[in-house]
Amino acid sequence: MSYEVYTCTLESQKEIAPNIVEAWVVNAELAAKAKPGQFLHIQCGDATSMPLRRPISICDVQGDRVCFIYEVKGRGTKSLQQQYGELDILGPVGNGFTVDNGKYKCPAVIGGGIGVYPMLFLTKQLKGAVAYIGFRNKDLVTLEDEFNKAADSVTLTTDDGSYGVAGFALEELKKDCETKQFDIIYACGPKGMLRAVKAFAEGAGIPCQLSLEERMGCGIGACLTCSCETTHEGTDKYKRVCRNGPVFWSEEVVL
Amino acid sequence: MNMKVKIAGVELNNPIIAASGTFGFGHEYGELYDLNEVGAISVKGLTKAPRAGNPPPRITETPGGVLNSVGLQNPGVDAFIEKEIPFLRQYSCKIIANMAGSTFEDYCEMAEKLSAVDVDMLEMNISCPNVKAGGAAFGTNPDTVFEITKTVRKYAKLPLIVKLSPNVSDITETAKAAEAGGADALSLINTLTGMAIDIKTKRPILANVIGGLSGPCVKPVALRMVHQVYNSVNLPIIGMGGISNGTDAVEFFLAGSAAVQVGTANFTDPYACVRIRDELKEYMKAENIANVSDLTGQLIVD
Ligand SMILES: Cc1cc2nc3c(=O)[nH]c(=O)nc-3n(C[C@H](O)[C@H](O)[C@H](O)COP(=O)(O)OP(=O)(O)OC[C@H]3O[C@@H](n4cnc5c(N)ncnc54)[C@H](O)[C@@H]3O)c2cc1C
Ligand SMILES: Cc1cc2nc3c(=O)[nH]c(=O)nc-3n(C[C@H](O)[C@H](O)[C@H](O)COP(=O)(O)O)c2cc1C
Ligand code: FES
């Protein structure tokens, strides 16, 4: 069995950018099982007022410690920021990225906004990754050093040009395609970005994996609330982001 | 301590039933614990033909509750019979086949098919708020509830549970209609219709606009309805609506439930069914109650 409910020691929580919190939890089993692209389904506070867990991607694993980074948005993440002591985590859940050691010689990794965080764990497990990470502005830039260590090369962009290259990360990836022969593209980010990555990768004939987001209930595949549209017909038209995903091959999904 | 209960002649190892739509066909929760631990599983609502369901988003949280608009995504009754029954039959928990239809004929055909296979009970969902045709429309009019129960009764060779909608002005009327139509048991409540709005986008959060509300916030409504129905019919009641711990379960027994279903609580705590059973046992031990069935309807109103 892959996932389990773990009571994890919440080692630290730190605001690393405005409204962006980096959290580390300690649990040896969870850390041992975690794979890039998988997520944690976290109880963020009082369960009677918040019956749903919140899905947050695994950002990094070091020994028996697991890191996740989240944006403080609504009730759940606001409450999560106030937690200390222990955290109730269901995980690791989901179907992560296909790493296939050695199969891909020249992988491109692209993350946008909160979609940057899960890409660090992936990048660390790839050989020769070329990373593109995009943020809205300078204040929101995080994990720059970590990516520099993990990837062969890193291109950092900001939408407003306040840091790094001005513009979207995908544009930089596209430019590099003239000189580099990417054999896979891994992506996570806002829907608009994923749509553009999908269109580009399919046009260029590069295999591409996308990590999707959807609102979730159970987190393990039982309730069918987290559906995303696929290119399949009939009852396979909608697949479960929590179990069949969150990572899908681009051709399989309709965005 | 005796946790066994008998509902319409079917004996359950314990009175905790996984609620339809929250537990799939048991595979996922079965990876976490032994499904022999639950009394029964009410499977995801089945339709005559496979259904793809509604577009996403299909779920969101509201204070103390959950809104969903899955829209009965399921593989259809035939695939259930072929693929899911053999899996569930490995366990001692009873199988409740939950049916949803758009026409009387849909229900009759499913009831006939399911009566010929190895399931234990039929649960007729005439209260699903998330489909356009049939669904809730059948469950809100007492005359229709009577007619559909009477019609489906002829095809159902297994105990027939009618699942009642809370979206009515007087639930005792639909309860009595189901009883008069020949139901063997009643289950209540299904979800209350509701909606949520995102003020930034000025759009409803659920793609279906309207969804069904469940979870802790509906418990007082559900409890009141179980109480009223218990006082107006002579059928066993399977109570549900926001049960998330042993105390909640005890309240539903006192109000008149013979067994309870646990739905949304599975999302909060994947072990909810087992935990609630154990907490119920603790209460029985502390109160010196030998049979869980002795709790049913023991509410004292001075
Ligand atoms: C697989 C996956 C991985 C994710 N990884 C990260 C991550 O690493 N870092 C990060 O900051 N965020 C991540 N998210 C998004 C995160 O789950 C939401 O921002 C969070 O649930 C918002 O909760 P809230 O209570 O603060 O917001 P509210 O808007 O109050 O939440 C209300 C309900 O809607 C759900 N919801 C709202 N927005 C989203 C969303 N974008 N995706 C899914 N559910 C949502 C909530 O879970 C909750 O049930 C991920 C989402 C998914 C599906
Ligand atoms: C995601 C979800 C899906 C559901 N699907 C069904 C269904 O297919 N058939 C049905 O009869 N009830 C369905 N229900 C209703 C539940 O079985 C139950 O009646 C209701 O949620 C109240 O109980 P709870 O508060 O314990 O969840 C669903 C509920 C949820 C939350
Ligand atoms: S969240 Fe329940 S099936 Fe994905």
B173-189 exposure pattern, b = at least 16 Cβ within 10 A, e = fewer:
bbbbbbbebbbbbbbbb
pLDDT of residue B138: 85
* Ligand 2 site residues, Cβ closer than 6 angstroms: A 217, 223, 225; B 19-22, 44-45, 66, 68, 70, 72, 98, 125, 128, 163, 190-191, 214-215, 218, 240-243, 262-265
- How many residues comprise chain B? 302
pLDDT digits (tens, 9 = 90+) for A220-243: 999 999 999 999 887 788 899 999
* Tokens at A30, concatenated: 């969870």
- Mean pLDDT over each residue of chain A, to the nearest integer: 95
Q: Is A7 exposed, middle or buried (0-12, 13-18, 19+ CB in 10 A)?
A: exposed
pLDDT at A235: 77
Sign of the alpha-carbon dihedral angle for B84, B86, B89, B95: positive
Residue A150, min C-alpha distance to chain B (Å) = 35
Q: Which atom of ligand 3 is nearest to the CA of A227?
A: 4
pLDDT in tens, B40-67: 999 999 999 999 899 999 999 999 999 9
A238 within some domain: no
**Beta carbons of A221 and B27 less than 8 Å apart:** yes
Tens of pLDDT along B88-108?
A: 999 999 999 999 998 899 999
Q: Report how many Cβ contacts below 8 Å link chain A to chain B.
A: 120
- From chain B, the residues in CB contact with A44 under 8 A are none
Predicted local confidence at residue A103, as pLDDT: 86
Q: What are phi and psi of B221, to 5 degrees?
A: -65, -45
Chain A contacts in chain B segment 243-262 (CB below 8 A): 244
Residue B40 Cα, gap to closest chain A Cα (Å) = 16
Using the predicted structure, report yes or no on whether residue B132 has a pLDDT greater than 90.
no
User: In 3D, which of A99, A123, A102 has the Cα closest to residue A111?
Assistant: A123
Q: Are A92 and A2 in contact (CB under 8 A)?
A: yes
B266–chain A nearest CA distance, Å: 7
- B221-245 pLDDT, tens digit per residue, is 999 999 999 999 999 999 999 999 9
Q: How many other CB atoms are found less than 10 A from the CB of residue B221?
A: 16
Nearest to B59 among A50, A220, A225 (CB): A225
- Say whether residue B59 is in contact with chain A using an 8 A CB cutoff: yes
Q: Report helix, strand or coil for A163.
A: coil
Tell me: pLDDT of B201 over 90: yes
- A14 pLDDT band (50/70/90 cuts)? very high
Give me the count of residues in chain A. 255
Q: Which residue, among B22, B23, B28, B77, would best test binding to A if mutated, counting the most A CBs under 10 Å from its CB?
A: B28
Residue A179 forms part of a structural domain: no
A210 in a domain, yes or no?
Answer: no
Query: How far apart are the CA of B277 and the nearest CA of chain A, in angstroms?
Result: 18
Place of tokens 């042993």: B246
Tell me which of A85-94, A160-169, B129-138, B140-149 is least confident. B129-138
Residue B8, Cβ density class (10 Å: 0-12 exposed, 13-18 middle, ≥19 buried): middle
Structure-block tokens of residue B137:
């429309």
**Which among A33, A36, A22 has a CA at the least distance from the CA of A121?**
A36
Q: Which amino acid is at A91?
A: G
Secondary structure class of A67 (helix, strand, coil): strand
From chain B, the residues in CB contact with A47 under 8 A are 244, 268-269
Calculate the average pLDDT of chain B.
95
Q: How far is B51 from chain A (nearest CA, A)?
A: 6
| B134 pLDDT above the threshold of 60 | no
Residue A64 lies in a domain: yes
Query: B43, B95, B94, B96: which is closest to B72 by C-alpha?
Result: B43
For residue B130, the model assigns a pLDDT of 58
Give me the pLDDT at residue B205, please.
Answer: 96
Sort out which chain B residues have CB atoms less than 8 A from A52's CB and list them.
59, 61, 66, 267-268
Check A235 against B64: CB less than 8 A apart: no
Catalytic residue at B108?
no
Maximum separation of any 2 CA atoms in chain B, in Å: 56
Does the pLDDT at position A102 exceed 80?
no
User: How confident is the model over A25-78, as pLDDT tens digits?
Assistant: 999 999 999 999 999 999 999 999 999 999 999 999 999 999 999 999 999 999
Question: Please, are residues B195 and B209 in contact by the beta-carbon 8 Å criterion?
Answer: yes
Output the pLDDT for position A234.
78
Q: Over chain B, what HEC string results?
A: CECCEEECCEEECCCEEECCCCCCCCHHHHCCCCHHHCCEEECCCECCCCECCCCCCCEEEECCEEEECCCCCECCHHHHHHHHHHHHCCCCCEEEEEECCCCHHHHHHHHHHHHCCCCCEEEEECCCCCCCCCCHHHHCCHHHHHHHHHHHHHHCCCCEEEECCCCCCCHHHHHHHHHHHCCCEEEECCCEEECCEECCCCEECCCCCCEEEECHHHHHHHHHHHHHHHCCCCCCEEECCCCCCHHHHHHHHHHCCCEEEECCHHHHCCCHHHHHHHHHHHHHHHCCCCEHHHHCCCCCCC
Between B63, B68, B215, which is nearest A225 by CB? B68
CB-closest option in B65, B216, B267 to A218: B267
Contact criterion met (CB < 8 Å) for B53 and A227: yes
By the CB < 8 Å criterion, does B73 face chain A?
yes
Distance (Å) from CA A244 to ligand 3 centroid? 10
Atom of ligand 3 nearest to the CA of A216: 1
Among B33, B34, B58, the strongest candidate for a mutation testing the A interface, having the largest count of A CBs within 10 A, is B58
What phi and psi values does residue B31 have, to the nearest 5 degrees?
-80, -20
- Domain range for A44 is 5-93
What is the pLDDT at residue B131?
58
Spacing, Cα A215 to ligand 1 middle (Å)? 7
CB contact B264 to A (< 8 Å): yes
Q: State mean pLDDT over B14-25.
A: 98
Cα(B99)–Cα(B75) distance, rounded to whole angstroms?
A: 12
**For position A35, which CATH number holds?**
2.40.30.10
Q: Nearest Cβ partner of A49 from B24, B52, B64?
A: B64
**A247-249 and B16-18: which strand pairing?**
unpaired
Give, using CA atoms, the residue closest to atom 3 of ligand 3. Answer: A221
In contact, A144 and A156? CB cutoff 8 Å: yes
**What ligand is nearest to the CA atom of residue A218?**
3
How many Å apart are CA B128 and CA A107, to the nearest integer? Answer: 47
Count the domains in chain A: 1
- Name the closest ligand to CA B200: 1
Helices of type H across chain A: 28-33, 75-82, 117-125, 144-150, 169-176, 191-204
Q: Is residue A82 part of a domain?
A: yes
Q: Residue B128: pLDDT above 70?
A: no
pLDDT confidence tier of residue B127, bands split at 50, 70 and 90: confident
Query: According to the model, what pLDDT value does residue A101 have?
Result: 74
pLDDT for A248 equals: 97
B182 in contact with A, Cβ within 8 Å = no
What's this model's pTM, rounded to 2 decimal places? 0.96
What is the interface pTM, i.e. ipTM, of the complex? 0.94
So where are chain B's domains? Answer: 5-295
Which of ligand 1's atoms lies nearest the C-alpha of A80? 26
- Please indicate whether residue A225, judged by its CB atom, sits closer than 6 Å to ligand 3: yes
Class of domain B5-295: alpha beta
Q: How many angstroms does the Cα of residue A225 sit away from the middle of ligand 1? A: 14
Ligand closest to the CA atom of residue B222: 2
Over range A245-249, report the average pLDDT: 96
